[in-house]
Structure 1
Amino acid sequence: MAFAESLDDLLSPEELSKMSGLEFMEGMRDGRLPAPPISRTLGYTLHEIEKGRVVFRGTPKFAFTNPLGTVHGGWYGTLLDSSMACAVQTMVERGATYTTLEYKINILRSIPLGTEVDCIGIADHVGRSTGVAHGEIRGVTDGKLYATGSTTCIVMRLPG
């Protein structure tokens, strides 16, 4: 998986306007488009994609802990924001994009360091101006539910 190394590696709004959100996400999955740098920084990758559903897979490391030695809430939040918002992205038409307007997470239990998890985002509604999605973080091996989330995204028209 290739990662964007600079702003020059990212698509311009004009380039992005020529593909649907699903085509954009498929381009990342297939390696034709670079993955966002945040996913390398926080150790997660795009694992599955279909219209209205995205799965990121990751494993928390010691570098992602808080002063108490547990996985920082920001790691949960970033994975959930990524999966839920990208689920919305898969439903956005050509010529449009999205951004997160707000999101909420509920951490149900601490993820043990080294535990591989899937973060699943599912779009509930995507219209002309808003998208709503929910998500969850589950252990790949143990199946435990570690966190849930919900989001509202704004859908915008791109220039071009």
Structure 2
Amino acid sequence: MFFATSPDELPSFDEMLARSGLEFMTDMLNGVISGPPIADLLNFRLHAVEKGSVTFAGAPKFNASNPMGTVHGGWYGTVLDSAMACSVMTMLPQGSIYTTAEFKVNIIRGITLDQEVLIKGVVDHCGRTTGVATAQIFGRDDGKLYATGSTTCVIMRPK
């Protein structure tokens, strides 16, 4: 995946707060700081970062299967939540953090195992205490829409 050091090392809280959200996400994209272990586990990676938008690329593997052998809804939810919340992160000033308060997922069609997709999150609103974003999953080869999501994030300034 995109770990700069070890998958067992995450940036410290102080390292995170020392950067703006856009700097944090850009440093993650460029391998300066490590990415989240969940991305390695579920086989998705940061693909692009800009202010107000983040794109991940990935493909569900066998470990994302449900008992019927199709991609578990949790895979959709995790990658959509990641794209939406990280897009909110790109809008935060230095010293701020966020957490997801709620999110919704709409699965439109099934993604097959090993199918490459792009997951793009876009900020709709980012204020002092809340951020609202949406995301879409598109097939990398076919361009079809596979799922959508929406979220509200709580923005905090812990220090």
Q: Decide: shared fold, TM above 0.5.
A: yes
Percent of matched pairs sharing the same residue? 54
Q: Kindly provide the CA deviation profile for residues 7-62 of structure 1, in whole angstroms up to 9, marking residues without a partner as x.
A: xx223322222110000000100100001000000000000110000000001112
The answer to whether the Cα contact below 8 Å between 1:59 and 1:113 also exists between their aligned partners in 2 is yes
Are 1:2 and 2:11 matched, yes or no? no
Q: Where does structure 1 lack aligned partners over 5 or more consecutive residues?
A: none
**Superposed counterparts of 1:133-148, under 5 Å:** 133-148=133-148
The residue type equivalent to 2:60 in the other structure is P
* 1:26 and 2:9 are equivalent in the alignment: no
- Give the Cα separation in 2 of the matches to 1:13 and 1:62: 33
Aligned to 1:39: 39
Q: Which residue of 2 aligns with 1:112?
A: 112
CA RMSD of aligned residues (A): 1.1
**Structure 1 residue 64: deviation in Å?**
0.9
5+ residue gaps, structure 2:
none
Aligned AA (2:29): R
Alignment coverage as a number of residue pairs:
157
Specify the code of the residue in structure 1 equivalent to 2:41. T
Runs of 4+ in 1 over 4 A off after TM superposition: none
One-letter amino acid of the structure 1 residue matched with residue 11 of structure 2: L
Q: Quick one: distance in 1 between partners of 2:100 and 2:22?
A: 17
Q: Within 1, Cα distance between the matches of 2:102 and 2:117?
A: 23
Which residue number in structure 2 is paired with residue 83 of structure 1? 83
When structure 1 is superposed on structure 2, of 58-67 and 121-130 the one drifting more is: 58-67
Partners of 1:46 and 1:11 lie apart in 2 by: 16
- SS at 1:151 equivalent: strand
Give me the TM-score of the superposition, normalised by structure 1.
0.94
Query: Structure 2 length as normaliser, TM-score?
Result: 0.95
